[in-house]
A and B are shown apart, each in its own frame.
Chain A
Amino acid sequence: MKLSGAEIIWESLIREGCALVFGYPGGAILPTYDALTKYPQIHHVLSRHEQGATHMADGFARASGQVGVVIATSGPGATNLVTGIATAMMDSSPIVCLTGQVARSAIGTDAFQETDVTGITLPITKHNYLVGDVRELAATIREAFHIARTGRPGPVLIDIPKDVQIEETEFEYPTDEIRLPGYRPVLAASDDEVQKAVEMIGESKKPLILAGHGVLMSGAVSELKAFAEAAQIPVALTLLGKGAISEHHPLCLGMMGMHGEACVNNAIQEADLLLAFGMRFDDRVTGALETYAPKSRKIHVEIDPSEINKNVEVDLGIVGDLKGVLGQLLPLVHRPSNPEWMEEIHRWKQDTFERDVINEDGKDKLLAAHVISDLWKYTGGNATTVTDVGQHQMWEAQYYPHDRPRTLITSGGLGTMGFGLPAAIGAKMASPEEEVWAIVGDGGFQMPMCELATAVQERVEVKIAIVNNGYLGMVRQWQEFFYEERYSATPLISPDFCKLAEAFGIPSIRVTQRDQVESAVAEARAHKGGPMLIDFVVEKHDVVYPMVPAGATLNEMIRRPTATPEMV
């Protein structure tokens, strides 16, 4: 059967299981959009900005575990994808981006809306392609999906010249083995590695698991729980690792790192064995590398070999898929229990509870931490939350415990402001039965604000909680701590978010006191047929505690000042 390149694109996407794409049309991708009319089984979501489309696809991928698909035109359409692709790259999120390109004969002539998008995205994609022949198109799309979703997942971009979309060729979707001689992800640990790990675990008195995003991506949640329980090892989470184990599990300590709980960071510094599972020792979780976890031996299980010994030298590096490797370790692992270690951790935990901002009455002011905690309470702790980046993101991480995987979606590695709202739209479209909340700051909300229109057009029932403190709060916090309170370019004058919502046809509520939170959340939960927005006007000068200053040792934390004297 002879098909045009444009038709081959849709046929191939369907064969890769894709039924939903996020995109924005334009000149060089017109043939593909024209062919879309023949494929009613594919639903296309029109974003209001291409960057929004990438975040939607990313949110879709993180919520569903499937590949998110983005489509855009050449030139400005393609360059607008860049931030979204870099975000997906840093957090290993599988997305495939299809961009139109000027016709082959015009490439290199600075034609209208021409840009070298494969060059631009080279360092921020797992791989990318410029399709030079329509006969290679189907195989390229198939390879792109394979690369995006296997090994350490990541974004793949395919640039398709306009004339390749128009040209016809015989279509048959390849079914043979994908031939990528240079792409051979290692999945299993060797017997030697397993034995060494079992020995090290058996010898440890104060072991600690550091669980990262890899646990979720690998689908190793039940294996992690079984492993932690069998060996009686407490679990600390990275930001993206939240959901790897229920945060109400007795062995779960909570989040580590710059805004992690002091009890967790203390445990890392005092542990004699760290088991790093599917995480990458980012500077936001290690603090100063020279003084990081000095008393411990370290085992690192990670699918990407280049992550092992990158930031932290480890005693045993195991390259492999976490689900499989934990399955290999589970029947062999044995460790005499050490109640003293658990008691030590428990004492640190007590201290954390005593200092908690939750203990403040908050009668005369609305504290963001209280808003998040109440949101947790009134959603039964069971919503999928999608955050933007900044203070509200850290408060979410601290005060919204997650019990299930893939229920916190947040930009960790790149820290992309503007991610929250579009990613929440994508996440809700991936799982329409889930209750999805976009928790965003007043700064990050205004970046992709136009995507409200997308949510309305698609009738996406996403709940939007703006944590509105009139500042770029996290930057303001750094200015308060490290720049002698010179608040350079951080105060924000924002529109009336409720009136703005009204202009989009979105119902909204403004909350200024804590006793209004419950009813507002209830109203938002009950709303059907489209988005709903709550503007939480919170305390302006609040600070996220605790905090490890950049470059400081992990347990040298700035603690809440009202608390008892410093402890380490």
Chain B
Amino acid sequence: MARHTLAALVENRPGVLSRVANLFRRRSFNLDSLTVGRTHDDEISRMTMVVDGSRQEAERLEKNLYKLINVIEVAHLDEKGSLMRDLALIKVSADIEKRREVIQLCDIFRARIIDVSQESMIIEMTGEETKIESFTELLQPIGIIEMVRTGVVAMGRGEHTLKHDAYTPQPALAGARKSVL
């Protein structure tokens, strides 16, 4: 078992998210997180999926994603060659006495305080999942009131670009042809 991160370009149409989400249950994939958002191209959205499983299972997922008509391109991102980021908003209980401690922790972790009230503060933190996890571990004794995370978004470094070339009338073979040799 290992974690696998897949990125997919999908047509920006109603129902695409439920098609992808359904796949995980339908084919018994162990989904850790799924994020979706628009890209610079209005017609295309991008999803990042993190799954637990063997390499074969990740390959099976990739092929099944390609089977969905609205999925255009899929990439299996490797950890070294890509950047992975998670964003968290964390509301901690912080009265006047505890504020200094929270601010210090935020400095160390390069997190930002984006809201302060009498009894609490909201912290925004972006980073790899492990970094967010160690940060929240340290905040735990101070008192986390509420927390939300986006789930991982990921992008390949340098030339490893997931893109959808302008549509060409000939059947493009590259995308669907995965090496099975």
Contacts and interface: CB of A to CB of B under 8 A. Distances in A.
A198 to B, nearest CB: 14
B86 interface: no
A147 B68 CA distance: 11
B72 A185 contact: no
Contact of A305 (B11, B172, B178): B178
B150 to A, nearest CB: 25
B69 A127 contact: yes
B63 A186 contact: no
A189 B3 CA distance: 32
Contact of B56 (A190, A306, A309): A309
B177 A186 contact: yes
B15 to A, nearest CB: 7
A182 interface: yes
A181 B72 contact: yes
A482 interface: no
A123 B22 contact: yes
Interface residues of A, number: 34
Given A122-B22, A305-B63, A184 B69 contact: no
B98 to A, nearest CB: 46
A186 B71 CA distance: 15
A179 interface: yes
Contacts of A308: 63, 180
A118 interface: yes
Nearest to A128: B15
A123 B26 contact: yes
Contact of B173 (A183, A184, A309): A184
A403 interface: no
Nearest to B171: A184
Contacts of A180: 69
Interface string B58-82: 0110011011111110000000000
B96 interface: no
B143 interface: no
Contact of A182 (B10, B15, B63, B178): B10
A185 B56 CA distance: 22
Interface string B13-38: 01100110010001000000000000
A192 B68 CA distance: 28
A11 interface: no
Nearest to B19: A122
B124 to A, nearest CB: 35
Given A177-B169, A181-B72, A184-B175, A317 B181 contact: yes
A180 B71 CA distance: 10
Contacts of A185: 171, 176
A193 B181 contact: yes
A167 to B, nearest CB: 19
A85 to B, nearest CB: 15
B75 to A, nearest CB: 14
Contacts of A458: none
B176 A319 contact: yes
B57 to A, nearest CB: 11
A310 B19 CA distance: 20
Nearest to A178: B169
B167 A316 contact: no
A310 B71 CA distance: 20
B181 A316 contact: yes
A506 interface: no
B157 interface: no
Contact of B164 (A179, A181, A183): A181
Given A182-B10, A183-B69, A304-B67, A192 B181 contact: yes
Interface in A155-198: 177, 179-187, 190, 192-193, 196
A30 interface: no
A317 B22 CA distance: 27
Nearest to A182: B72
B40 to A, nearest CB: 16
Contacts of A304: 67
Contacts of A192: 181
A270 B103 CA distance: 71
Nearest to B172: A184
B60 to A, nearest CB: 7
A130 interface: yes
Contact of B176 (A122, A126, A186, A309): A186
A182 B172 contact: no
A196 to B, nearest CB: 7
B72 to A, nearest CB: 4
A119 interface: yes
A186 B180 CA distance: 13
Contacts of B69: 126-127, 147, 180, 182-183
Nearest to A118: B15
Contacts of A184: 171-173, 175-176
A140 B64 CA distance: 23
Interface string B150-178: 00000000000000100101011101111
Contacts of A126: 69
B50 to A, nearest CB: 20
19 contacts: A123-B22, A177-B169, A180-B69, A181-B164, A182-B68, A182-B70, A183-B69, A184-B171, A184-B172, A185-B176, A193-B181, A305-B177, A306-B60, A306-B63, A306-B66, A306-B67, A309-B60, A314-B180, A317-B180
Interface of B: 10-11, 14-15, 18-19, 22, 26, 56, 59-60, 63-64, 66-72, 164, 167, 169, 171-173, 175-178, 180-181
Interface of A: 118-119, 122-123, 126-127, 130, 132, 147, 177, 179-187, 190, 192-193, 196, 304-306, 308-310, 314, 316-319
Given A304-B67, A318-B180, 19 more contacts: A122-B19, A123-B22, A123-B26, A126-B69, A132-B14, A181-B164, A184-B171, A185-B171, A305-B66, A305-B67, A305-B176, A306-B60, A306-B64, A308-B180, A309-B56, A316-B181, A317-B180, A317-B181, A319-B176
